[in-house]
Amino acid sequence: MNTLLLTIILVPIIEIYLFIKIGSQIGAFNTISLIFITAIIGVVYARYEGLNTLKSGLSQLFKNEVPAYEIISGAAIAFAALLLIIPGFATDTIGFLLIFPLTRKLFFKKISTKFEKNRKEKKNFIEGEYEDIEDDNDRKI
């Protein structure tokens, strides 16, 4: 089954389950308040981290270096802010894990080692050069 389709189906089911469980423990009003509070705190902190990443990227550019980590980090922060805006406890947890620099680096390290392993395994190619030869009488092989 397609991973995207599975995610679209499972995320709302998990969120509804968590809403019911947490709502039965702390009450409906507190659950709704907690959702709004985590969204507000998350977006404010995402903005703060985004500005820090932007400053770091600009300093890398001034040093004539490629800000690769800052670009990936900025995309992760934007995705985390989106997850924090979406109502839910599971998406908020993932969003907060992506916003904090320490856990974001751990995610990047895990993903980069996975891609590095795939890149090492996929070296089944032969490098070579070719030359197009016109159909002239003097250049026949």
Residue 17 lies in a domain: no
- Which two structure tokens, joined as six digits, stand for 107? 């995610």
User: What pLDDT, in 10s, does the model give residues 24-54?
Assistant: 999 999 999 999 999 999 889 999 999 999 9
If the chain, 141 residues long, is cut into consecutive pieces of 10 residues, what is the mean pLDDT of each piece?
Answer: 87 93 93 92 91 92 88 91 91 92 88 71 69 64 55
pTM for this predicted structure: 0.73
Q: How far apart are CA 7 and CA 2, in angstroms?
A: 9
Work out how many domains the chain is built from and give that number: 1
Residue 48 lies in a domain: yes
Residue 74 lies in a domain: yes
Residue 22 lies in a domain: no
| C-alpha dist (Å) from residue 109 to 9, 113, 132 | 28, 6, 44
Residue 8 lies in a domain: no
Residue 53 lies in a domain: yes
Domain that holds residue 42: 38-116
Residue 122 lies in a domain: no
Using the structure block, give the residue that is written with the tokens 């907690």.
Answer: 34
Residue 140 lies in a domain: no
Q: According to the model, what pLDDT value does residue 135 have?
A: 63
